[in-house]
Structure 1
Amino acid sequence: MNYKDYERKKAGNYLSVGIFGKQFAFEILTGFCDTPEYYPISKEEYDSFDEWKEDVSKMPEIKNRKILCSGYRVL
């Protein structure tokens, strides 16, 4: 999976949700250069993004998942 294949569908401040093919993903910009990291999310999390995008308590739960890919390097 390559970060260039990500299709952003909904955006917030320094984060978004979108898809890699059929895999729903959460994108967050990290580091000095705002390099993206992508984490898997469910269809329900994707659909409810507008409700939780401002809820910082949701972010650690998602960021503890195995990363799909990163702009730093292709995993």
Structure 2
Amino acid sequence: MGLRGDILIGVKEKLKTGCAATDSRGALREGGSYEWRMMIQSLLLSAQAQKKPVMLHMDAMNCNENGAHFDGVKILEE
């Protein structure tokens, strides 16, 4: 967990978003309500357990030292 209960999400791919923290560390942050954070965490862990790829949606214009703001996730079919 990051500051103020943010979820920090790391990605393996090299990103070029214009947000320094996201580009250098592959970090995204999500600081919504507790319910929203738990739902996102559940979706990501479920996809990881099933080895399914995901598409992460982010707002690179909303950037701070923890990374670009994470807006959502889509679990992709292989």
Q: Which has the larger radius of gyration?
A: 2
TM-score, normalising length: structure 1: 0.41
